[in-house]
Structure 1
């Protein structure tokens, strides 16, 4: 079953409204081909065990998404689906029994469907082969390949005979980084690292060519390089235009946050602001500069939203003063580099920016003034704000949570102190396996769940250095009642 244009379209006006549709990519065989000598070049800190990631961890993510977003595909069928565990038919985009949800969209399926078009197949194959330096004969061989198989090859880099013809793109599971939905626009991003060039190309072709997005092609924004950028001296990252989706948050219909980080440059943030203001997508953009360190990478690794008045935050980069807590031997010259800075621009008068003294003050302003919260703004701190657990648990994505609806978020089960902080703030905590059992047998209804942290297994998946906020590209969320 192919995915058609969706009647409800695309619309993401916030971070916490009920999630109705998103784009994901389930771990593919390329993830199991990352080798230690290339791991950092391919932006992985470690190698993962693919079968464990698929069967014991990511599959819970897919199942819980189905129960909340497309229950007709799974409820009452779980036993049958699990009986096919060895074949993994429900989860394989190239299998006839694949779920084919138009709410939990699988990137590989969308790619396969556009490749059915001969013209697109030829153009995209030529583009991929140019990026990867393939021979002309291999390019012709790929053009003649079945569309579903070709999609798999483009993602995994591997032919059916197990020959690797180019590198895998294991970061494709982090779908947010190469595109972000802002209201009814799509911002296609410019990843900082060469390892993500192919996935950027694939996403561009999907958004511009798949019928699901047909009505929004005029609303797809691409970040350009500055005019005559090729004349500028040097090719270091400080002079490049880069922006990744983990550094973009749609906190209200009129307000977007953009992080300047290890992966998003000031030039990238500047070009994004110009695009968003030029197309009247939002009224204001706040730039949040965090330390340019691998520990943090994106702003969604140091804070994400839980409810309109509740945020999970890493305190060491958030509080007034903005310095990162480090051992006493921190070098003086690192201080400016490690300072958090926040500046807000308004479309009506971008030359009169507003500054915030800390991330907490910004988030409080969003909760009260953008989202109309009448309750005190609360912060749940990584590691329960206790050293060294704050830093350890932030490294395993304690702050990178995905809201399925306001107050109901997905996070890793390994971050014990952060979990305790949620409990202290009055949240229920439930393991995903127990939740799925209750949803399947009717003991719980997804729509009735509130103020809950859903714990997801994470022994292997967390090694990829990204949580469920990273592993989601929301396409449609409900608006919030801003009069509440």
Structure 2
């Protein structure tokens, strides 16, 4: 990573990925037991060494194709500035109600502090109350931080810090806010949903629910992680940028199963004219509404029920060919592969996407649609030249990573696309 600043800019889901933010999963992922896995938002505990080997494949492909930024490196640099360090520690002390640890944290070196803010800080038990709480951590580990998609989003030239649905992920947003606000690495406008909402508990926004389809079209999921109140605030901010017509399409999502937590678990873009869809929710009739919002010159002028995402986008000139997650033949395969993030794709360029290797029926369907299947290892070892392939799926191993509840799109936060 060189020192020059970049200007953030994301105007689509598929433009060539030029810069991306990642967090390499570390000890924080293992700092849980089966008893508290649910609180950590996991359905199972991970084997970290295998998860890291799988993540290495994702990291390796992205390093070949994009400029990669690591959260922990950026955080450490922010903490080298005493004023920024104090601002972040004070905010964490206040939001997580641990004022007694501020002095200790302030004395730590930037590298050690960065480590503790991500991996967690064991509680200092010196009162009966603390002892009886049966709580091991004063600052809980950021179990989910390798899903960098959720805590912040780049929309156009704007960095938006999200207001997470669960308090166990709040520090992820505080860290991302500190990184963007420092302006050490990126040029952008910044807005923070915590601040705009005055920390209103009914406001929830996570990045997995936000797809930038075109510079004037946002597609947003409304479910367990992103509330209607949160979407209203995003729309308000979206209205302020630029002029002319803009469009927001909102897709309601089921509250369960947990594999539906974000819109990008049922719908992702593969190319300018192709999308991966979970058919039962996106193409079949269901009780979950699609709502269209039209914006003109900074104001919402129309809100109406719309006949599904594909139909809504077609009316706006984005005509997408759907590829069915799990294949068209069998609803069992569709359900099984959606559960393991089979609809969650990251585009690194138009028609060039990253996926888990385990979802074989989804990959077969892509192959029928003209996508060549190549392994991450072959891309890393330069057996394939991605520039000469027209459409391809780069597969990474995924036995452990999907247990955290997400796929390649969840694990990446695009900072700049061409």
- TM-score scaled by length of structure 1: 0.78
1:279 aligns with 2:272: no
Match of 2:414 in 1: 474
Residue in structure 1 matched with residue 203 of structure 2 by the alignment: 241
Runs of 4+ in 1 over 6 A off after TM superposition: 225-230
Give me the whole-angstrom Cα distance separating, in 2, the residues matched to 1:398 and 1:113: 36
In 2, the alpha carbon distance for the partners of 1:131 and 1:108 equals: 21
The residue that corresponds to 2:48 in the other structure is 50
Change (3 A) 1:433 1:397: same
Q: Does 1:345 align with 2:309?
A: no
Tell me the equivalent position of 2:308: 358
Q: How many Å separate the matches in 2 of 1:320 and 1:445?
A: 38
Q: Deviations over 1:128-163 (max 9, x none)?
A: 233344363x3222211110111011000147xxx9
Query: Would you say 1:399 and 2:343 are equivalent positions?
Result: yes
Say whether residues 1:174 and 2:147 are aligned partners: yes
Corresponding residue to 2:26 among 28, 32, 47: 28
Pairing 1:463–2:403 present: yes
Contact 1:290 1:341 in 2 (8 A): no
- Aligned to 2:237, the other structure's residue is in SS state helix
Aligned to 1:155: 118
Change over 3 Å in CA distance of 1:227–1:149 after alignment to 2: closer
1:450 aligns with 2:390: yes
Distance 1:253 1:53 in 2: 35
1:22-421 matches, cutoff 5 A: 22-54=20-52, 56-69=53-66, 103-134=67-98, 136=100, 138-158=101-121, 165-213=138-186, 215-216=187-188, 219-223=189-193, 240-280=202-242, 283-293=246-256, 294-321=258-285, 323=286, 338-348=287-297, 350-365=300-315, 369-370=317-318, 377-385=320-328, 386-421=330-365
- C-alpha distance in 1 between matches for 2:241 and 2:282: 31
Distance 1:41 1:227 in 2: 25
Is the alpha carbon distance of 1:11 and 1:302 closer, same or farther for their aligned partners in structure 2, counting shifts above 3 Å? same
Q: Distance in 2 between matches of 1:344 and 1:273?
A: 9
Which structure features the higher share of helix residues? 1
Equivalences, count: 402
Q: Deviations over 1:322-347 (max 9, x none)?
A: x2xxxxxxxxxxxxxx4232323223
Deviation at 1:42, TM superposition (A): 1.4
Please state which structure has a larger fraction of its residues in strand: 2
SS in 2 for 1:476: strand
Once the two structures are TM-superposed, the CA of residue 224 in structure 1 deviates from its matched residue by: 5.1
Q: 1:334 — aligned with what?
A: none
Correspondence for 2:127: none
Give 1:229 deviation, angstroms. Answer: 8.2
- CA distances 1:15-60 after superposition (whole Å, capped 9, x unpaired): 0010000111010111011211111111111110011111x20011
Q: CA deviation at 1:226?
A: 7.8
Separation of aligned partners in 2, 1:459 and 1:229: 37
Task: Indicate yes or no: 2:3 matched with 1:4.
Answer: yes
Q: Quick check: 1:304–1:311 contact (8 Å CA) kept in 2?
A: yes
- 8 Å Cα contact 1:5/1:211 also seen in 2: no
Q: Distance in 1 between matches of 2:144 and 2:414?
A: 17
Secondary structure at the residue paired with 1:306? strand
Q: Measure, in 2, the Cα distance between the counterparts of 1:402 and 1:129.
A: 35
Post-superposition offset of 1:166: 2.5
Asked if 1 retains the 8 angstrom alpha-carbon contact of 2:197 and 2:203, the reply is no
Number of the residue aligned with 1:83:
none
Deviation at 1:165, TM superposition (A): 4.3
Q: Which runs of 5+ in 2 are unaligned?
A: 123-135
The answer on whether the counterparts of 1:291 and 1:340 sit within 8 Å (CA) in structure 2 is no
Structure 1, 164-173 or 44-53: larger mean CA deviation: 164-173
